[in-house]
Structure 1
């Protein structure tokens, strides 16, 4: 019996230590980062480092999301916005850290009727874990690496923009016709049309978005209309020109929602 008592006491000590570790030490590693749930959010505002203006995701009455920045609205990316919002609200902490870098962090503000505004600052440096600071408490956490996979790319407005000028496969284009006020400027046949269409409609590198362009104020800078023919059906891109723009040409696709690409040239 005397031998049994130390064993029992040791077992109790082990259990108490384990219980303490689970309740008081591991808790921060498993906590939900934000109070709001995805379905409760009405708006998410993201201010990225180096960007003078934030972009917003706003939930409409029909539960669809609109992504906007300044005078640009993206109306066809509700599913992608919903994926981002859900990934954001499901973030969980991985460990507690002492400080967050003073620069290169992204500020995210979430709005809901239940909790008002929640703000966090997120930092993702090369070679280290993503960090988040809760503004209301000052607490700083490292985030679980697998959880931020769907969050970090979406902290850029360009993540929600279309990468193609038209909903049209460049390989299907058999001719391109350029006109201005019903006058023919040039025409490309099957041999050249596919390659030029690829360059214009879906650039291999990331498109250069023409955020400086204003559809109303700049309509007098019309330069030409490009018609991309597929099986005899035209798909048009309107070209505007101003030598003072960062890139002199702005291409506007006809498909909704319109996309605006800047270009240094149209054809070689």
Structure 2
């Protein structure tokens, strides 16, 4: 069996076209309306720059020097919060050490927090009957992808590898809300636990940041694998001398899984 490749780029293009139609309809009713989302990037981390390049297809980038102070950053955010022409703000994480990520993400107005990183939006993900509006983008995108591919979640065993506040944590809760039985594996999980739970998982979402972390012999036939890991490995054929890969060894996993993206870069 060879897994059906989940084409994240095609799904992304389809969703983008749908959103464009909605914007066009809004502009007919309100000709003055021009949606604007601002991405804030501090410094030039390669992984952050990669994500920003993908987002720039639709959004505006504001870059600040890596040495910006906490006070300056909060002042910049206050200006964007009060700018009525800005409808959304995304602070690209991680931030340099001198900046308090929690204070900065919480400084973004809740209604403009398009990445869902503020404490109020994160808390809504974990509340049982909350009306979710602004959910962290990666987990929300994964849920959209699973729905698009008609993946059954209710009653299934799901494993999330990683427990970060912005991917693994919310991912597990979103899967749980859709009826899956969720196990979160992380840095304190034992090799035996990884082996057991991965082998029994119907759906696997990996976001640990380790290239080749999951191989075909780790998973059961017919499972669905979503790979959102971000790793750089040496590749002399590339101008930079490296290339970005996920956590999953695609060559082996694609021979076992029913659905698996080569790398979730859409």
TM over 0.5: no
So what's the TM-score if we normalise by structure 1?
0.27
Q: Quick check: which one's helix share is greater? A: 2
Q: Point out the structure with max Rg over C-alpha.
A: 1
Specify which structure has the higher proportion of strand: 1
Q: Per chain length, whose mean CA-contact separation is higher, i.e. which structure has more relative contact order (CA < 8 Å, sep 6+)? A: 2
Length-normalised TM-score, structure 2: 0.28
